[in-house]
A and B are shown apart, each in its own frame.
Chain A
Amino acid sequence: MCTLEVIATGPLATIQDRGRPGLAALGVGQSGAADRPSHHLANRLVGNHEDAAVIEVTFGGLELRAVGGLFVALTGAPCPMTVQLPDEQPRTFAAYSAFWLPDGAALSLGVPSSGLRSYLAVRGGIAVPEVLHSRATDVMAGIGPDVLAEGVRLPVGDPVGDLPETDLAPVCPPTADDIELRVVDGPRADWFTAEALDALVGDTYVVTPDSNRVGMRLSGPELTRSRAGELSSEGMVPGALQVPPTGQPTLFLADHPVTGGYPVVAVVLAADLPKAAQARPGQRIRFVRTPLSGWAS
């Protein structure tokens, strides 16, 4: 069986798959890859089931050594990659393509040219033990494998299908410019002033460094409440813009808490969540209000 030995992790690297849907009533969130289309694509490039476990790399910096040769592919935030075999010149590889990592070779990921999260799939998938039917690390709930650390050896599973004919996927890398995210007002838009609802879509918000897989803390126009009082904790969805008393919203990502006690002013459309997951600290976000087709409460 092949393994991957972790030489360096970069700022944060975790194992992710599709997560744990269906357990929210027990207080367990879904977790899983923050940018799911990139997770799926990485797996398809190496012929895995698209939900197989991969490494989610935050802002590059990961270094691995292959024990046994294997095919790998990187998607999401495009990191420059070098493969180094002892006594040989390093070779460079690009994202969105599958390539062979020979036995004993070290793979190093540089800083991505845009985006935040990269997905490294290996043919056969990362085969760490499942916890509640998933290999995802939920940093909020503390469930699943540990965050990757230097010296850890990751088992790789057996390949299940053929390698695809294509070994290069023509995809656009995440944007380095302002990110536009479509939002729908509510469920608690009525807790906010009309000015706050205008401000949410009127100006940009900056992603602060105080952001992680749980959520992105944003800095921008203050969202003022139109009413005092406390909300009873209620269920949360990914993409929810929860507004604590500071008036600065947090955009919930993959490891968001199952319930929350601050009102949610608006929610990002599911299709735009992958873009949100690629927003870097310092990058600006513009929210665009979108009506829900045909929905009248």
Chain B
Amino acid sequence: MKLFPCADQGLLVELDDLDQVLALYAELVDAPPDGIVDLVPAANTLLLRMDPARTDLHQVAKAVLEAKPRPGTRPDVGHIEIPVTYDGEDLAEVGRLTGLDERAVIEAHTGQEWTVAFCGFSPGFGYLVGTDDRLHVPRRDNPRTKVPAGAVALAGEFTGVYPRESPGGWQLIGHTSAEAWNLDREPPALLVPGIRVRFVEV
């Protein structure tokens, strides 16, 4: 674990991998140290944003060092099923990249449990990690200028659901009627860090 100050505004904790990030996030999220404004998990870091009027780096660092994350634990925020129609424009290309046929791509996507590791890119855009590497594919060489809301996609080790229409470089494999982002819902994001997801073919 490495600690990097972001001036007096945050402490960036660098960890070995996503499992460690999620375990530390799970340990801190329910009772964050005093003066912490936001916890921002990412692929191999956890940022603790702080209010410098209420705490300082020493107290935050102490809280991080004293946290005892249990390896393998993830935030306990339940699990959901997301219905998917596998008709994405890049489904054949994903088959070619993975050496699987289209049917096997769908079975690999529906056949494993995914966990939201973190959110980024845009509000409610969750990065989900699976349990095996069959569907690891690169981003598209030419990002699309417009990806519709509800598009289900793959990139790197992640799968995701576009919360709103936006540009995007991920490989599209299908679409869902589930709303990944709805401001009238609490929380507005469906795919919050730690939630476990099963994709179900429609």
Contact = CB atoms under 8 A, between A and B. Distances in A.
- Give the most central of B6, B45, B120: most A CB within 10 Å: B6
B40 A24 contact: yes
B163 to A, nearest CB: 8
B49 A187 contact: no
Interface string A174-188: 000000000110111
B92 interface: no
Given A25-B193, A132-B183, A270-B52, A235 B3 contact: no
A184 B11 CA distance: 12
A173 B189 CA distance: 41
Most chain A CB atoms below 10 A, which of B38, B44, B118, B119: B38
Interface stretch (B103-111, B121-129, B135-143): B121-129
Sorting the interface of chain A by its residue count into under 10, 10 to 19, 20 to 34 or 35 or more gives 35 or more
Contact of B45 (A25, A132, A235): A235
Most chain B CB within a 10 A radius of its CB, from A27, A232, A292? A27
Given A21-B38, A232-B42, A232-B45, A269 B120 contact: no
Interface string B7-19: 1111010000000
A89 interface: no
B47 interface: yes
Interface in A21-46: 21-28, 30
A27 B120 contact: yes
Interface stretch (A118-126, A146-154, A237-245): A237-245
Given A22-B38, A259-B120, A27 B125 contact: yes
B82 interface: no
B26 to A, nearest CB: 12
B49 A237 contact: yes
A267 B6 contact: yes
Contacts of B37: 21-22, 30
A24 B50 CA distance: 12
Nearest to A268: B7
B24 interface: no
Contacts of B44: 232, 234
A28 B126 CA distance: 12
Interface in B180-202: 183, 187-189, 192-193
Interface in A199-255: 232-240
B71 interface: no
B41 interface: yes
A294 B57 CA distance: 10
A143 interface: yes
A26 B4 contact: no
Contact of A30 (B38, B118, B164): B38
Interface string B86-124: 000000000000000000000000000000001111111
Contacts of B58: 294-295
Contacts of A141: 122-123
B183 A184 contact: no
Contacts of B189: 26-27
Report the contact-size class of chain B (Cβ under 8 Å from the partner).
35 or more
10 contacts: A21-B38, A26-B119, A26-B188, A183-B7, A232-B42, A237-B7, A237-B47, A259-B120, A270-B9, A295-B58
B119 A267 contact: no
Contacts of A285: none
B167 interface: no
Contacts of A270: 7-9, 52
Contacts of A22: 37-38
A6 interface: no
A232 B43 contact: yes
Given A26-B124, A234-B40, A269-B7, 10 more contacts: A23-B187, A24-B39, A26-B188, A232-B42, A237-B6, A240-B6, A267-B10, A292-B5, A292-B8, A295-B5
B47 A234 contact: yes
A27 B120 CA distance: 5
A28 B123 contact: yes
A197 to B, nearest CB: 15
B4 A187 contact: yes
Interface string A258-297: 1100001011111100000000000000000000101101
A297 B3 contact: yes
Q: Which 3 pairs across A and B sit closest by C-beta, in order of nearness? A: A235-B47, A235-B40, A187-B4
Contacts of B46: 235
B125 to A, nearest CB: 6
A131 interface: yes
Contact of B119 (A25, A142, A187, A188): A25
